[in-house]
Amino acid sequence: MKRATNALPAIAVLAVLIVAWWAVVVGTGSVVFPTPWQVVGGTLELARDGSLWQHIGASLFRVGTGFALAVLLAVPLGLWMGWVRGAFTTLNPIFQMLRPISPIAWIPIAILWFGVGDVSPIFLIFMASVFPMIVQTVNGVHTIEPRYLRAARNFGVSRRTLFRQVVIPAVLPQIIVGMRIGLGVAWLVVVAAEMIALRSGLGYLIIDSRNAGNRYDLVIAGMIIIGLIGLLLDGLMRLLEGMKAVRWRYAR
């Protein structure tokens, strides 16, 4: 009940935006930009012929694969860089140089290396999500409160045990935050990534709807669906923050 009550302001603002959208389109007499009802009709059209679920499934597969590969690399690498000073001083300048490069800039490289298909968008999604997770994990190791480490050393804990039983649990909240940021960025670049996909994905749907007959109702529908799925994915990641193993480091 409390959650439903807390959601009321957001629902009210959303309703106002939809009404304003409808009023502007009708008031200007636009024949190109769709009304909310036309977007709903386009979405139902895609749902009925099954193509909507194919596009959603393809995008989730690419984002999920690219994100999972990024997690498998970023978390161990970030822990190592944060724990070993030599690794940090050697690798951090390289990652700080690569991190600001837009994923879109990697499109020609992706096509050159992997061709046109699923591997190229997976590579772009990987590049978009790996660096935030590395940075956040390294930062998590560097910000561990010294009293945890001193207390463990006073009990004669070995460096390996200290890393496994103190450092990793202490860094878990930062790892989860990094994963949340990385997943958000990965989903953010899905349109650019799927510009070089075959004939599937929500990004492809948006580009193809624009190019094939100016179906702006489907363009807006694809954008809204991407936003809704992004909201759902962020909510799932937030559930991880409530895990007992993660919450212990927070002040409350």
> Given this model, what pLDDT does residue 77 score?
94
CA angle 50–54–55, rounded 5-degree value: 115
Q: Which of 224, 229, 228 has its CA nearest to residue 40?
A: 224
Both tokens assigned to 44: 């139902």
> Given this model, what pLDDT does residue 189 score?
87
- Start-to-end CA distance of the chain, whole Å, equals 23
127 contact partners, CB below 8 Å, separation of at least 6: 103, 106
- Topology of the domain covering 34-247: MetI-like fold (1.10.3720)
The string of pLDDT tens digits covering residues 219-237 is 999 999 999 999 999 888 8
> Given this model, what pLDDT does residue 122 score?
92
> Given this model, what pLDDT does residue 57 score?
93
Q: Please list the pLDDT of the chain residue by residue as tens digits (252 residues).
A: 566 676 778 888 888 888 898 898 888 877 778 888 889 998 999 899 888 999 999 999 999 999 999 999 999 999 999 888 899 999 999 999 998 888 889 988 998 998 888 898 999 999 999 999 999 999 988 888 777 777 777 777 777 777 777 788 888 888 998 999 999 999 988 888 887 767 888 988 888 888 876 788 889 999 999 999 999 998 888 887 777 666 555 444
Residue pair 74/134 in contact (Cβ under 8 Å)? The answer is: yes
110 contact partners, CB below 8 Å, separation of at least 6: 120, 121, 123, 124, 196
Residue 34 per-residue DSSP state: P
Task: Count Cβ atoms below 10 Å from residue 169 Cβ, excluding itself.
Answer: 15
CA pair distance 192, 181, nearest whole angstrom: 18
151 contact partners, CB below 8 Å, separation of at least 6: none
250 contact partners, CB below 8 Å, separation of at least 6: 173
| Phi, psi of 220, deg, nearest 5 | -65, -40
> Given this model, what pLDDT does residue 251 score?
47
CA pair distance 119, 125, nearest whole angstrom: 10
Residue pair 178/74 in contact (Cβ under 8 Å)? The answer is: yes
Task: Count Cβ atoms below 10 Å from residue 37 Cβ, excluding itself.
Answer: 12
Place of tokens 């999500």: 129
Both tokens assigned to 79: 């822990």
The string of pLDDT tens digits covering residues 55-96 is 999 999 999 999 999 999 999 999 999 888 899 999 999 999
The pTM (predicted TM-score) of the whole model is 0.85
